């Protein structure tokens, strides 16, 4: 694995951990009523998508079990159509998808180092 990919994957893990920490014990109603939290978590989603776009093609092709394209697509929606972004989707993504993504990336780093 390229050193650059290792650095990026670790940055993605950091962003995921931040979002999970922000959302710990937060209900959907609490999330929806907290503008600061919505913006912070939305920004971490944007950061993750941007980082994914910088991973090497070889890494993304090797690990097709990770939905790289959907992650970067979510970033595009969050960044360019923020006003129409469904924040319920952001909540679900962080609560349900981020823990699985974190696990998959940790496995990539374990297996390829």
Residue at token pair 């790289």: 68
Give the CA distances from residue 4 to residues 7, 36, 87, 111, in Å, rounded to whole numbers and listed in that order. 5, 32, 32, 16
Tokens read off for 66: 């990770």
Known catalytic residues? 75, 80
Instruction: Please provide the DSSP assignment of 49-113 as one string.
Output: HHHHHTS-HHHHHH-TTS-HHHHHHHHHHHHHSGGG--HHHHHHIIIIIHHHHHHHHHHHHHHH-
């Amino acid at each position: 694995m390229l050193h650059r990919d290792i650095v990026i994957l670790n940055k993605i893990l950091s962003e995921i951990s931040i979002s999970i920490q922000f959302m710990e014990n937060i209900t959907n109603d609490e999330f929806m009523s907290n503008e600061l939290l919505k913006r912070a978590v939305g920004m971490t989603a944007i950061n993750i998508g941007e980082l994914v776009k910088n991973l090497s093609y070889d890494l993304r092709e090797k690990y097709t079990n990770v939905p790289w394209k959907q992650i970067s697509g979510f970033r595009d929606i969050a960044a360019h159509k923020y006003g129409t972004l469904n924040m319920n989707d952001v909540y679900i993504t962080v609560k349900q998808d981020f823990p699985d993504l974190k696990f998959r990336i940790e496995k990539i780093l374990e297996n390829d180092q």
